[in-house]
């Protein structure tokens, strides 16, 4: 199996390359430190699987993943990420990622994930799955609920928020109740923490 490896940290690429070459029959046919090069390399080298760092200069990897899956549907994509945001993880899965793995994970986890993805299975560790479930729920916030959340996170109360939108306190209270339920929290302080964890603010 031919692999593409994309990460802007050379020492990390070197480590993954040595691991794959030493422990698997697969070979890395191309590497890049820039997200903007990924599409060209896939077109040129036709890898079977791409291992991509989530945070790279030159491109937004969620958009790159969606583009790759549209243009090269047979390509398997493994995303390595340092973020704990369930919202971002949910977006990666929606874009077509076959695996989302924590960048701080161990070598065995990565190797097993590569084999599973190569066999056509999706790989999402338990912590990632839980974050995605929470992120997917958070993504279901309406525009108004999201606006209310941002103001709650700024410390505004129902009356102040109601005045901003020329709505009644009761209407804002209902929006607040709904968004708290979707986030799985019971207070403004918890909402702020949860929104931060999910990358909503």
3-state secondary structure string, the chain?
Answer: CEEEEECCCHHHHHHHHHHHHHHCCCEEEEEECCHHHHHHHHHHHCCCEEEEECCCCCCCHHHHHHHHHHHCCCCEEEEEECCCCHHHHHHHHHHCCCEEEECCCCHHHHHHHHHHHHCCCCECCHHHHHHHHHHHHHHCCCHHHHHHHHHHHCCCCHHHHHHHHCCCHHHHHHHHHHHHHHHCCCCHHHHHHHHHHCCCC
pLDDT at position 138 is: 67
pTM confidence score: 0.71
Residue 126: band (very low, low, confident or very high) from pLDDT cuts 50, 70, 90: confident
Structural domains of the chain in order of their starting residue, each with its CATH number:
2-135 (3.40.50.2300), 141-197 (1.10.10.10)
- 81-110 mean pLDDT: 87
Q: Could you tell me which residues are beta bridge partners of residue 32?
A: 6
**Model confidence pLDDT, tens digit, residues 60-79:** 898 899 999 999 999 999 99
pLDDT of residue 196: 77
Confidence band, pLDDT 50/70/90 cuts, at residue 137: low
Alpha carbons 194 and 55: distance in angstroms, whole number: 22
Q: Tell me the C-alpha to C-alpha distance, in Å, between residue 201 and each of 86, 135, 154.
A: 13, 13, 10
pLDDT at 6 over 70: yes
- Identify the pLDDT of residue 176: 94
Mean pLDDT within 19-41: 95
Task: Round the average pLDDT of the chain to a whole number and report it.
Answer: 90
Tens digits of residue pLDDT in 143-173? 788 889 989 999 999 999 999 889 999 999 9
Q: Is the pLDDT of residue 5 over 80?
A: yes
Q: Is the pLDDT of residue 95 over 80?
A: yes
Residue 96 pLDDT: 93
Q: What is the pLDDT of residue 72?
A: 97
Query: Measured between alpha carbons, how far is 13 from 6 in angstroms, rounded to an integer?
Result: 7
């Amino acid at each position: 199996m031919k692999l593409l490896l994309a990460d802007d940290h050379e020492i990390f690429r070197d480590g993954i390359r040595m691991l794959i070459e030493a422990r698997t029959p697969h070979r890395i046919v191309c590497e890049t430190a820039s997200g903007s090069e990924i599409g060209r390399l896939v077109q040129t080298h036709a890898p079977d699987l791409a291992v991509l760092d989530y945070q790279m200069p030159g491109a937004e990897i969620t958009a790159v993943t969606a583009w790759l899956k549209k243009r090269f549907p047979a390509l398997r994509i493994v995303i390595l990420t340092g973020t704990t945001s369930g919202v971002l993880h949910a977006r990666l899965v929606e874009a077509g990622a076959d695996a989302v793995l924590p960048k701080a994970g161990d070598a065995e986890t990565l190797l097993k994930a590569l084999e599973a993805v190569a066999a056509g299975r999706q790989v999402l560790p338990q912590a990632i799955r839980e974050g995605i479930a929470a992120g997917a729920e958070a993504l279901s916030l309406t525009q108004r609920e999201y606006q209310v959340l941002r103001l709650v996170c700024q410390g505004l109360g129902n009356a102040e928020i109601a005045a901003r939108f020329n709505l009644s306190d009761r209407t804002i209270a209902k929006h607040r109740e709904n968004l708290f339920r979707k986030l799985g929290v019971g207070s403004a302080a918890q909402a702020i923490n949860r929104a931060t964890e999910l990358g909503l603010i």
